[in-house]
Structure 1
Amino acid sequence: MGIRSVLSKPFAAFVVREQREWEQKAPDYQHKTLKNLVSKASNTVFGNDHGFKDIRTYDDFKKQVPVRDYEALKPYVEKMLTGQNDVLWPGKPAYFAKTSGTTSGTKYIPITKESIPNHINSARNAILNYVHETGNAKFLDGKLIFLSGSPVLDQKAGVNTGRLSGIVNHHVPGYLRTNQLPSYATNCMEDWEAKVDKIVEETIDQDMTLISGIPPWVQMYFDRIVEKRQMPVKDVFKNFSLFIYGGVNFEPYRQKLFDTIGKKVDSVETYPASEGFIAFQDKQDDPGLLLLANSGIFFEFIPADEYFNETPTRLSLDQVELNTNYALIINSNAGLWGYSIGDTVKFISKDPYKLLVTGRIKHFISAFGEHVIGEEVENAMKKTLESFPEADIVEFTVAPNVTPEKGLPRHEWYIEFSKMPADITAFKSSLDSSLQKLNSYYFDLISGNILEQLHIIPVKKNAFIDYMRSIGKLGGQNKLPRLSNDRKMAEELLKYKE
């Protein structure tokens, strides 16, 4: 064993011991976090505007600080972009994480020197939890790859600015940097397809042991490895043993990804966002993600069905219930206050607090009052694929068709199959039946002949890659919406219909 794998085990044991302390008292640590955040930001522009000096309790905080999205926070960010200090957090940000917004254009999310450990240490601790649980540390001696955006940073008001994954790349610990691939020059490439080809070239003859990235883009990398070598990934990277992923639900990609690898490898799910690293999977036999309750973020939760109300209920961690869909709100040492990151989650454990990401608050279909969410369409697809083992999909998305040329209104599923089901009609019926079981409103609409059974629209090979390329969002941290309440994407995908 190499020095990295040997030293990682006692370090992992230390990290997990510390983790056990706060995870057993997570609500207490959360309220301490809120108190510290408010105290440190009390003299900022935002703190003065919202009476931070008068806040003593969480109830006080809720009265003083409204829930807001980026558009509502933007006036404060714009002050920072002109060089003003002490706006949302003392001093200036260390970075701006640049992301694409659907309503706000480009978003600039502040990252402060106090919030950097949340991003870096949380990713490290996800790996160390795996080492501690499994005893497997040998992968740390091989080559590691983190498929990410370019680390090239621009400047905004004297602040380094770029994609989160590129910013994080500058903070990879020195002991890992020596065995990290691809090269810096390759990582700086902006053209995603050319970048993947170059990554393949640099890694195909290396001892790759850990591979990390968003599943659809890792799949693209694997496909090109297989195409070049005409053998499964396991035979190219014989010691590949750990896959780390985040950003999207893995289930729709799991089967095809492992088929391409040619064997099952251990995997660790993470929940990073530009706004903060939220949670990670700490047990191989538990899909729940451990909420990071002691990492500079105070979390709030709004029942998802109240999110668009004028005065929705806001809950702290000690007030949440299991198996309830919540919109996630964060308050952090990056200077984000009452900030809705747009995700929905549900808790599956409170000892310790573990959650699943269930979708996006704005990604749903309710053209007919059914309010179908991402978790439901993904689970319906998973259930159906289990009944049709010969079928395999690459990607899919769902949209409503309110005024079809023929028949009743319906949901339309745009699916790229890598292997078609033997009976597409039976597949469609099973998928529709699964969704009806998951969403009672959808069941009522189908049984009441308001909607007809869903339609499947197969699309050509690489249709979703071509679509993402056409809108300038191929690769990196970009993710395909699983469903939408309008037909903007659906109309574009019709161009790729089989």
Structure 2
Amino acid sequence: MSIKSIAAKLFAQKIYKKTQLWATNPIATQQRVFEDLIRQAKNTQFGIDHHFDQIKTVQDFANNVPICDYEGLKSYIDKVVKGEENILWKGKPLYFAKTSGTTSGAKYIPLTKESMPFHIEAARNAILHYIHETGNADFVDGKMIFLQGSPILEEKNGIQFGRLSGIVAHFVPKYLQKNRMPSWETNCIEDWETKVNAIVGETFDQNMTVISGIPSWVQMYFEKLSQKGGKPVGELFKNFNLFIYGGVNYEPYRAKFENLIGRKVNSIELFPASEGFFAYQDSQHEKGMLLLLNSGIFYEFIKSADFYTQNPKRHTIGEVELGVNYVLIISTNAGLWGYNIGDTVQFTSLKPYRIIVSGRIKHYISAFGEHVIGKEVESALQEATIGTEIRINEFTVAPQINPNEGLPYHEWYIEFENEPENLKAFAEALDNAMRKQNIYYDDLIVGKVLQKVVIAKVVKNGFQDYMKSIGKLGGQNKIPRLSNDRGIVDLLGKK
């Protein structure tokens, strides 16, 4: 055992104990965060406009600060982007994380000197919790890779901006610099396909032990590695034993990954976003990710079923229930207030508070009142493929409201790696699994409002070609699991 791995184990023990202090006192922890946020922002323009000096309780805050999205804060953010100070948070932000918007065009999410450290610490602490639980620290001596956006930053009114993953690349600790791959030059390549080919060339003969990134894009890297080496990734990288991912559910990819790797490897799930780092998997044995209650973020939760009603109830951490679908609302030390990030979560544990990401509040199918969410289609697909040789590269689901004949249906666009021998039987199994997941969908099938699911096979690399066509190939971009219209699926190439 190396000195580096021994030091990692000692540090892991220290961080674990520190985490337990706030995780075992969740309500008091969130109250402290809330009070600190109000105190630090009360003299900002937003704080003055919303009477922060009069806010004493969480209910006062809910009365004064409405739920909003980027559009709701845009008038303030525009001032911050112009270089004005003390608008949403004290002073100026360190960076803007630039993301693509729908109605807003480019979105600029502020990152402050108070918020930035939590992005770095959370990713680090996820690995340290893994080390503490498993005792496995040997991987710290090998090479590590994170498939991410370019670290080249631009500047607007004295504030640098770029993709979040590119900004984070500037904060890699010195003790990891020698282990980290790819090279800075390769990381700066903008074109994703060119970049992945360069990463394959740099890492092919290295002792890779940790690989991290969004599963769909890591899959492309693995496929190119296997093609170059003529063997599974696990044989090329004999010491590779930890996959770190975020952004999407890994389960639909797991069988494909194990086939590409040639064996099972442990994994750690993260829940990062430009708006904050919200949770990470703290245990290999428990379902869900530990919600980070001590990281400068005050959380509120609105039941998805109530979200579009007038004045829905805003629940605090002490009021949430297991298994309920909630819209995640945040207020942060980067100056986001009552902010709906668009993700929905469900709690898997209340001691400590662990969550899973169940979908997006805008990504659902409810053409007939069924309100199917991302978690349900992912779980149904997993059930339908378990114990089979079927492997799936990517998928998305959309309603077909006006078919040429027969009843409407949910249409699953699937890019298979290994196709089912009997597509009709697979569709039947998938439909049965969906009916277990969503009782409203089951009612629609029983009541003959909908016919059973229809599967459309997507051509090889069809999803990659689609993402490339809209300028979102690689990086942190991902395919929505479902849509309430056919905007995506009408652009996918079918077999």
TM bracket, shorter-chain basis: over 0.9
Q: Distance in 1 between matches of 2:336 and 2:356?
A: 22
Report 1:27-426 matches (<5 A). Answer: 27-387=27-387, 389-426=388-425
Alpha-carbon distance between aligned partners in 2 of 1:455 and 1:339, rounded to the nearest angstrom: 37
What are the superposed Cα offsets for residues 266-319 of structure 1, whole Å, 9 maximum, x if unpaired? 110010011000000011111210000101100100001111112111011011
Who is 1:491 aligned against?
Answer: 490
CA displacement 1:194-234 (0-9 Å, x = unmatched)? 00000000000000000000000001000000000110001
Which residue pairs with 2:8 in the alignment? 8
- The Cα shift of 1:258 comes to 1.3
1:435 maps to amino acid: M
Deviates more, 1:444-453 or 1:336-345: 444-453
**Are the counterparts in 1 of residues 98 and 109 from structure 2 also a CA contact under 8 Å?**
yes
For residues 372 and 146 of structure 1, the distance between their equivalents in structure 2, rounded to whole angstroms, comes to: 32
The question of whether the paired residues in 2 share the 8 Å contact of 1:390 and 1:422 is answered with: no
* Structure 2: tracts of 5 or more residues without a match: none
Counterpart AA for 1:175? Y
How many correspondences in the alignment? 495
**Other-structure match for 1:473:** 472
In structure 2, the partner of 1:26 is 26
1:348 CA drift (Å): 1.0
CA distance in 2, matches of 1:398, 1:479: 14
Give the superposed CA RMSD: 0.7
In structure 1, what residue type is equivalent to 2:461? N
Deviation at 1:386, TM superposition (A): 1.0
Q: What TM-score, normalized to structure 2?
A: 0.99
Gapped runs of 5+ residues in structure 1? none
Q: Distance in 1 between matches of 2:467 and 2:344?
A: 24
- Separation in 1 of the partners of 2:2 and 2:236? 22
Superposition deviation, residue 102 in structure 1: 2.0
Match in the other structure for 1:438: 437
Q: Distance in 2 between matches of 1:102 and 1:391?
A: 35
Rounded to whole Å, the distance in 1 between the matches of 2:298 and 2:366 is: 31
> Which deviates more from structure 2 when the two are superposed, residues 403-412 or residues 357-366?
403-412
Q: CA deviation at 1:103?
A: 2.2
Counterpart of 1:311 in 2: which secondary structure?
A: coil
- 3-state SS of the aligned residue for 1:488? coil
- Give the residue type in structure 2 aligned to 1:169: A
The Cα shift of 1:101 comes to 1.4
Q: Which runs of 4+ in 1 moved over 3 A?
A: none
Q: Is the 8 A contact 1:222 1:233 kept in 2?
A: yes
Aligned residues of 1:302 and 1:328 also touching (Cα < 8 A): yes
Seq. identity, %: 57
TM-score by length of 1: 0.99
Supply the AA of the counterpart residue of 2:192.
W
Work out the CA distance in 1 between the residues paired with 2:185 and 2:91.
32
Letter aligned with residue 144 of structure 1: M
Instruction: Determine if contact 2:287/2:348 at 8 Å carries over to the other structure.
Output: no
Cα-to-partner distance string for 1:73-128 (whole Å, 9 max, x where unaligned)? 11000001111000000000000000111222111000000001110000000000
Does 2:484 correspond to 1:453?
A: no
Q: More deviation in 284-293 or 41-50?
A: 284-293
The CA deviation at 1:2 is: 3.0
1:247-269 Cα offsets, whole Å, 9 max, x none, are: 00111111101110011111100
Q: Match of 2:488, SS?
A: helix
